[in-house]
Amino acid sequence: MPRIERKYMAHYLDAAKPSAVPGTPSYVRLGKDLEEYSPEMSAEVEKSKNICGETSVLLSGYEKSGSVEPYYAEKGDPLFERLQEIVDGMLVLDDCRSTLVDVHLWEEAMEGAYPAVRWDVVIEVSSHGGDTTGYQIPFTLHYTGARAAGTFDPSKKTFTEASA
């Protein structure tokens, strides 16, 4: 079985500003200038050993997060505008919430849409500035755990939740 190339696991972040009309996301694909995006699962694991010498393992959940670094700002890019708004306004709480869609481009598309999972995330801007290579705004996405399966159409940049 052939390996799946990294480019076929696509990540689209909703860059719509908090003041945007609810339900009108503005998805931007992560990846330009980004050599790696590997969300850490950070499993919550509890181990205990009983008197028989057996080990019991309980995996109770995950605290998933992913770092986007570097991120080079580009004028006119909706994601840059969203991140700069967080920087300038020192936004917190719900003003930093967004959604991220993981799209499985290696699977078969149906009417232009691929299987996908939409995650609720919180954007944490870690710094801004950078060196002479350009203005940078690295950030971390903290997954809240809320997710929905569905499909994503990359040409229309729309997510459709699967019916239950």
Q: What is the pLDDT of residues 90-102, one digit of tens each?
A: 999 999 999 999 9
User: Residue for token digits 């008197």?
Assistant: 51
User: Residue for token digits 């010498």?
Assistant: 53
Q: What is the pLDDT of residues 136-153, one digit of tens each?
A: 999 999 999 889 999 999
CA distance 121 to 153: 20
CA distance 33 to 163: 36
Please state, as a whole number, how many other Cβ atoms lie within 10 Å of the Cβ of residue 107.
13
Split at pLDDT 50, 70, 90, the class of 118 is very high
Q: What is the pLDDT of residues 74-89, one digit of tens each?
A: 999 999 999 999 999 9
Where is 155: in which H helix or E strand?
none
Q: What is the mean pLDDT of residues 60-66?
A: 93
Q: Above 80 in pLDDT, residue 55?
A: yes
CA distance 62 to 41: 6
